[in-house]
Amino acid sequence: MLTSGRHLMLIWHVLTAVPLHTFMILEPSKGVLSQIELFMSRFFWGEVDGCAKQHWRNWSALYFLPEQDGLGINELEDTVRAFGCKLWWKLRTGDTLWSWCMLSKYVIMEEHVTTVPARPSSSWVWKRLLKARDFMEDNMQTLIRDGSSYFWFDNWLGTGTWQMTRTESHCPKLELQTYLWGGQWHLNPIQELLTLDERQKILNSQILMSSGKDLQIWMPSAVGGFVLLSTFMKLSPTATL
């Protein structure tokens, strides 16, 4: 007969790992996640003669870290969200057939992927991507090389996009290199769309152009690339993956 500790080890390494490949592709409903968590809860507390034992604590309370009187179990909903974030990263950084097809289908020429709204005809995959968009864009920064990123829509200063602070002003979809060449800023075409403080911040920024396309950096990671563990830690301080 297994002890509670061994039950916990099996939950950590087996029961929570089995659906991971499904979570990478599909976004299960909350009802499905609740059913999986019910199975884990029953397995942890055990049963006698086919009847479940008394559950002494709510299962959601066990998601906390051990020092917070929890068991350090990762919440399945956070796991699903993290894999949704990974899909967004692949969309924004991957030069793949999948990312090309998704962008071609849902982003028209005048739009940028960070501002495209959800539409009734959107697939469940695209809706899942949009759920992760705001969180991901808040934690991504553009590393400037050739200036091919977009001035208004990419976070190239690390302080957020310029478009975020505007609700009525029209922000043209123009690349950064439109306003930066020869190592100098040329902001005259858009000076009416910028405040004095914004213009000063841009002029004070030290950006050196180089060869190669601009890169996206995942700021929570020390290496700059997308790391699932750092995403878990941002989504949930109780993550133990």
Indicate the range of 56-60, 150-154, 234-238 predicted with least confidence.
56-60
d(CA 130, CA 148): 23
Residue-wise pLDDT tens digits, 208-223: 778 888 999 999 988 8
Domain ranges of the chain: 4-75, 141-218
Residue-wise pLDDT tens digits, 83-116: 999 999 999 998 889 999 999 999 987 788 998 8
Q: Which pLDDT value is given to residue 33?
A: 85
Q: Is the pLDDT confidence value at 66 over 70?
A: no
Which residue spans within 93-177 are E strands per DSSP?
140-143
Residue-wise pLDDT tens digits, 41-59: 777 666 665 665 655 566 6
Where residue 158 falls (left for φ over 0; alpha for ψ -120 to 50; beta otherwise) is left
Q: Can you tell me whether residue 142 is helix, strand or coil?
A: strand
Q: Which pLDDT value is given to residue 241?
A: 47
- Which residues is 150 bridged to in the sheet? 175
Q: Can you tell me whether residue 65 is helix, strand or coil?
A: coil
Q: Is the pLDDT confidence value at 117 over 90?
A: no
